[in-house]
Structure 1
Amino acid sequence: MPWMLSCTPFIIVSYFFLWYLPPFTAGRVVWYLAFYCLFQALTTFFLVPYCALTMFLSTDEKDRDSATAYRITVEVLGTLIGAALQGQIVASAHASDHCSQNSTVSFLNSSNLQQNSSSFLSLAHGRNVYMIAAGVIGGIYLVSTVILFLGVKEKDDPYALSSDKTVPFFKGLRLTMKYGPYMKFTASFLLISTAVQLEQGNFVLFCTHTAGLRSHFQNLVMTILVSAVLSMPFWQWFLQRFGKKEAACGICWMIPFVIMLVTIPNLIVAYTVAFVSGLSIAASLLLPWAMLPDVVDHFRLQNPHLTGHETIFYSSYVFFTKMSAGIGLGISASSLEFVGYESGTCRQSDSVVAMLKVFVGGVPAGLIFLGLFILIFYPINKRSQKETKLALEMLRQSHPSTENLNENEENTSV
């Protein structure tokens, strides 16, 4: 917890300078690249312990799933609020709605960079509103971290036995990389996450240059976010009622609708696709974080005298999610450049239009189906979860835990 609090000021500063216009022009690329890398690194430092806290809130699976659902819901809601606030604040800096106006907003990434080539009312006014927007978002980040620090009490591992030894990082990493359920889980959601990243990253360009919906893309993005927020309670109920592997089928709901948008690009279809995509994206965000604690418990049962491996699982998965985002961005950028994409032009070539259709429809569909196929071989289900929980409870009853040992020592000293 102190580590997250100490990271927060540096995250805010790095985010602020992402939107700052330096007085020099020669080294601006290096400036923004450095602060973007710094921001991504710091958010990773924050995200790993923040996500791993779920394991220490409760030993009950339903409680952890509920906490995960609340966390993901509030994250998406925060993205919606942040996008709305920043969009409204910087709106006055743009005077025209020329067709060259571009925005490659990655709307599920808190570190998104808005690129607009519309004319500014004035350079000074543009600088001011972007600084104000960055300050508001940074203030929200600070308030949220303070609430987390004051509202959540860090506890000892409730499953740790008195004879447990903390596993060294590299040894734990080797163990996790050899652990079959974790590798199947990671491979599946790496493909699914890459598919979602590709669909997100190219959706605005598709609406602008292929579907002719340039003036509606902001409303479409908001529709996706609102749909994702509202569908979280449904997915939480579904995975508890039918199982987590079964809930993964919801990720593929958007595929037929996205293909419909590619073939029939009109306004009604676009809003339908946005709504259904929000449902699928909500499932793709919730399920991996709900399934990861089950993998950790299953590993603990196989290695009962190792502790400290939770952060290794979470840090490895965060790395893979970051890698999927990089893969999606790299594939999109290189492919569009190869077919002749020109930023700022009103009309793109037919090859660019075809490539956007592939990135929005074909490639995500293939990656999602492949990811779900791998998930079929994921061995943890509702029955095995109950067996694991029972075995861990019996292990705690037959061996004194570190938490109980500390409580007994405190009572003895009193």
Structure 2
Amino acid sequence: MCISSKQVDRDSATAYRMVSEGIGVLLAILIQGKLIERVRTAGHCSHTNSTAPPHSLAEQKWSYTLGSVIVIIIYVVCIIAVFFGVKEKIVLKKDRAYSSYFKGIKTALTYGPFVKASMVFLFCSLAMAIVQGNIALYCTHTLKLVHFSNFIMLALVTSVISMPVWQCLLIRFGKKKIYATGMIIFIPVALSQFLLPENASYAYYIVVCIAGLSISVSLLLPWSILPDVLDLYLVERQERKDAIFYSFYVFFNKLATGLGLGISQVVLELGGYVTGACAQPESVSFTLRLLMTCPAVFMLGGLLILWTYPIDERKRREIQLEVQNRDPPLTSDDVLLTTEDTYDDAQETKFDDK
């Protein structure tokens, strides 16, 4: 589905989309986090060698279930709204060229600008996934701060509020510079996790507020630079492969999430973490400090790859000019095909190629 041939429209749509995603995550934290926080026993035990009692674990299980049901209901409502509220109408003729799946994979994984953008996204997402997966444990067992959901909410609120500001800045200074700025901000934030003392709630509020600025960039910029890569591919190869590029972009994001969970699980197990225990060994506190600090390394790796990313602001303007000269703005006469027509024509193209 093509939203617009104008880059400014697509960037605006990306900004609205990511603000909505941030608000959605914030609602999830408000619902799920508050339900779970009130029944968690970690940090409230009188004996360090005790474990959570069965009735407490049952309450925690019920709170997870209730929160999940509420989130699922919201999710279904959103699906229904999109299904009945969005109509796919415009499909450009140049998007209809048929190619095999494996040829598409080769195209995506051998196109340099896309690979670099994807690797930056992978490293950035991996850093955020590790922090997201361990912040509750870090607050509870390292900083001895029980109400961890307040810090998560502050980070998300900061990211949502700052997103329009970043959008204005990227228009003024360019996407590559703003992307790098957000990643640089995250590095000292991650390193500070190793040095924060216990019960330093006020200091940690400041840290997560600054982290929210970087989270905002990690949500907005990866999806904002991808259309530039697609336009560059169109200019260089005279064809569009949007679907396969977007598919692999999402794959790298999900891969980062899985790797983050896997790395956290292995490191915590090596550090002596005991699931369900009211108190953890001292080694767990140190392990969590390492886990919350190591994302700085991934972010630095992503920053180095971003330095080699070829599309700066000058190059982006050149690409946009070439795309505009190649494709005049869409009008009502350019509504060529409906989704069904596109599918039929694609099948015809497939058989003709054979």
With structure 1 as the length reference, what TM-score do the two structures score? Answer: 0.72
Aligned to 2:203: 269
C-alpha distance after superposition, 1:114-141 (max 9, x if no partner): xx95764795x87776555433322211
Alignment-mate amino acid for residue 316 of structure 1: F
> Where does residue 166 of structure 1 map in the other structure?
98
1:14-413 maps to which residues of 2 (within 5 A)? 53=1, 56-88=2-34, 94=39, 99=44, 120=55, 131-158=65-92, 160-161=93-94, 165-213=97-145, 215-248=146-179, 249-265=181-197, 266-304=200-238, 306-307=239-240, 309-361=241-293, 363-396=294-327, 403=334
Aligned-partner Cα distance in 2 for 1:277–1:367: 15
> Which blocks of at least 5 consecutive residues in structure 2 are unaligned?
46-50, 339-354
Residue aligned with 1:166, SS: coil
The CA RMSD over aligned residues, in Å, is 2.8
- Residue pair 2:42, 2:140 contacting (<8 A) in 1 also: no
May I ask how many residue pairs the two structures share in their alignment? 327
Closer, same or farther in 2 for the Cα pair 1:336/1:181, shift >3 Å?
A: same
Relative to the length of structure 2, the TM-score reads 0.83
**Identity across aligned pairs (percent)?**
37
Q: Retained in 2: the 8 A contact 1:254–1:273? A: no
Q: Provide the rounded CA distance (Å) in 2 between the counterparts of 1:326 and 1:294.
A: 27
Q: Distance in 2 between matches of 1:354 and 1:86?
A: 27
Q: 1:10 aligns to what?
A: none
Counterpart contact for 1:95–1:120, Cα < 8 Å? no
Q: Which amino acid aligns with 2:12?
A: S
Contact 1:157–1:403 (CA under 8 A) maintained in structure 2: no
Which amino acid counterpart does residue 394 of structure 1 have in structure 2?
N
Q: Distance in 1 between matches of 2:70 and 2:268?
A: 34
Aligned in 2, Cα 1:406/1:204: closer, same or farther, shift over 3 Å? closer
Give the Å deviation of 1:250: 1.5
What is the identity, as a one-letter code, of the residue corresponding to 1:267?
S
Higher RCO, 1 vs 2 (CA within 8 Å, ≥6 residues apart):
2
- The residue aligned with 2:351 is none
What residue is the counterpart of 1:19 in the other structure? Answer: none
Q: Secondary structure at the match of 1:70?
A: helix
Q: Deviations over 1:359-407 (max 9, x none)?
A: 111x11111111111101100122222222222222235xxxx946669
Mapped partners of 1:322, 1:347: distance in 2:
32
Q: 2:274, 2:62 → 1: CA distance?
A: 29
In 1: Cα distance, 2:285 partner to 2:60 partner: 32
Cα deviation for residue 184 of structure 1 reads 0.9
Measure, in 2, the Cα distance between the counterparts of 1:315 and 1:177: 12
Deviation digits for residues 32-70 of structure 1 (CA, Å, limit 9, x no counterpart)? xxxxxxxxxxxxxxxxxxxxx5xx111111111111111
Q: What residue identity is the alignment partner of 2:86? A: V
- Equivalent-residue separation in structure 1 for 2:40 and 2:268 (angstroms): 28
